[in-house]
């Protein structure tokens, strides 16, 4: 089975009311761990690469690692997706590499970097213009597109609320109609990284149903969905790490979000935590070890365990064989002519 278009997999998820994990990958161990989990649970899977991941892996290495996952798992629907594409050029590069889906994150202006490293929000009209350009380019090639409305960030107490723009449901219908996006990332109060919340998370879950009603056929995406498992934070700190107290989004909230209308669930941080915790422990307990396969292997096993559980919890497990996956040419003919 070749890599499949994201739209098809998310359409199936919407009909079946389950969430599909979109897991950030940078190296072989992550990909192998995720594919072991997906194969054992018969799970359709989105492997996504950020601009940073493409740079780290010099693009072509990551491409071939993902193609290796496809070759090893011919009976699983696998999507290769660009995460947070900052501009048309990067989306074009990903499509040229063979990605079957791209995200254009035009909610932020990545060409401007503020002193604290963040990027300012883009105006609605500018977001529509850039997202439409990417849709036009990608859809001609059968490639799915994810856009974003609103910006990520916590809505808890003292977080930088002034910089957080939850998605405005009033804008959603117009955005989807004018751009033609297949999937829409919405801001409901989550943020990237390990330090999302100081206490129990406060998410604007009701927004999901309000948005879902306005765009009933568009896939909705939740970024910043790591749960930051406390046993991993403790393990990292026990073996020499210095992570601050932090909380993520509990699986119970993710399940609610899926029930309310989310189909794509973005996860990166939990994989990083699992990998780091296992490697720290392995090296601390085996000070004589210097074969990287020993500690990278331990990291790989840790990612596999954490992610396999998510595949089961999000309801994706068992859905790999529900449909006949499409090629990009078929997707183009069916949806984008």
Q: Which residues bind ligand G3H (CB under 6 A)?
A: 24, 50, 52-53, 83-84, 192, 268
| Full 3-state SS string of 193-219 | CCCCECCCCCCCCHHHHHHHHHCCCCE
User: Among 227, 275, 267, 268, which residue's Cα sits nearest to residue 247?
Assistant: 227
Tokens of 246: 């932090």
**Three-state DSSP state, 183:** strand
Cβ(30)–Cβ(4) below 8 Å: no
Q: Residue 9 or residue 267: which is nearer to ligand 13P going by CB? A: 267
Out of 7, 14, 122, 223, the only residue in the binding site for Zn ion (CB under 5 A) is: 223
Subset of residues 112 to 131 that bind ligand 13P, contact rule: CB under 6 A: none
Residue 231 CA to residue 278 CA, distance in Å, equals: 11
Closest CA to 316 of 39, 7, 92, 69: 39
CB of 243 to ligand 13P, least distance (A): 14
Nearer to ligand G3H by C-beta: 8 or 227? 227
x/- map, 93-112, ligand 13P, by CB under 6 A: --------------------
Quick one: DSSP state of residue 179?
H
Near ligand 13P by CB under 6 A: residue from 65, 267, 273, 320 = 267
265 to 284: interface string for Zn ion, x by CB under 5 A: -x------------------
CB < 8 Å & 24+ apart, contacts of 83-86: 83/22, 83/24, 83/48, 83/49, 83/50, 83/53, 83/266, 84/50, 84/51, 85/51, 85/134, 86/51, 86/110, 86/111
Task: Find the part of the chain contacting ligand 13P (CB under 6 A) among 73-81, 114-122, 222-230, 237-245.
Answer: 222-230
CB 267 to ligand 13P: min, Å:
5
Burial degree of 92 (CB within 10 A; 0-12, 13-18, 19+): middle
Active-site positions? 83
Lay out the site mask for Zn ion across 239-268 (x = CB under 5 A, - = otherwise).
Answer: ---------------------------x--
Count of residues touching ligand 13P (by CB under 6 A): 13
Residue 223 found at the interface with ligand 13P (CB under 6 A) = yes
In the complex, least distance from residue 182 CB atom to ligand G3H, rounded to whole angstroms: 19
Minimum CB–partner distance for residue 301 and ligand G3H (Å): 22
Contact residues toward Zn ion (CB under 5 A) are 223, 266
- Contacts with ligand 13P, residue ranges (CB under 6 A): 24, 83-84, 192-193, 223-226, 266-269
């Amino acid at each position: 089975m070749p890599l499949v278009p994201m739209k098809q997999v998310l359409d199936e998820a919407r009909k079946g009311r389950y969430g599909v994990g979109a897991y950030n990958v940078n190296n072989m161990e992550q990909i192998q761990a995720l594919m072991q989990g997906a194969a054992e649970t018969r799970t359709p899977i989105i492997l996504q690469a950020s601009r940073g991941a493409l740079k780290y892996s010099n693009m072509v290495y990551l491409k071939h690692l993902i193609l290796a996952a496809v070759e090893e798992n011919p009976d699983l629907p696998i999507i290769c997706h660009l995460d947070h594409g900052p501009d048309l050029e990067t989306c074009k590069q990903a499509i040229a590499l063979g990605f079957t889906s791209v995200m254009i994150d035009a909610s932020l202006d990545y060409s401007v970097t503020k002193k604290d490293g963040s990027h300012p929000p883009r105006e609605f009209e500018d977001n529509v213009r850039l997202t439409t350009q990417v849709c036009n380019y990608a859809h001609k090639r059968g490639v799915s597109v994810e856009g974003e409305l609103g910006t990520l960030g916590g809505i808890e107490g003292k977080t930088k609320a002034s910089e957080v723009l939850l998605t405005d449901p009033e804008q959603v219908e117009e955005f989807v109609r004018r751009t033609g996006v297949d999937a829409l990332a919405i801001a409901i109060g989550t943020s990237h990284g390990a330090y999302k919340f100081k206490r129990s998370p406060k998410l604007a879950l009701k927004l999901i149903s309000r948005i879902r009603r306005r765009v009933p056929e568009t896939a909705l995406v939740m970024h910043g969905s790591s749960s930051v498992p406390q046993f991993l934070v403790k393990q990292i700190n026990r073996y020499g790490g210095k992570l601050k107290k932090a909380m993520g989004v509990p699986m119970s909230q993710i399940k609610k979000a899926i029930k309310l209308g989310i189909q794509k669930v973005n996860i990166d941080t939990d994989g990083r935590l699992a990998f780091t915790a296992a490697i720290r422990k392995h090296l601390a307990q085996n000070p004589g070890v210097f074969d990287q396969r020993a500690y990278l292997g331990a990291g790989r096993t840790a990612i596999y365990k954490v992610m396999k559980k998510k595949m089961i919890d999000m309801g994706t497990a068992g859905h790999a064989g529900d449909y006949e996956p499409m090629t990009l040419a078929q997707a183009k003919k069916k949806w984008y002519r």
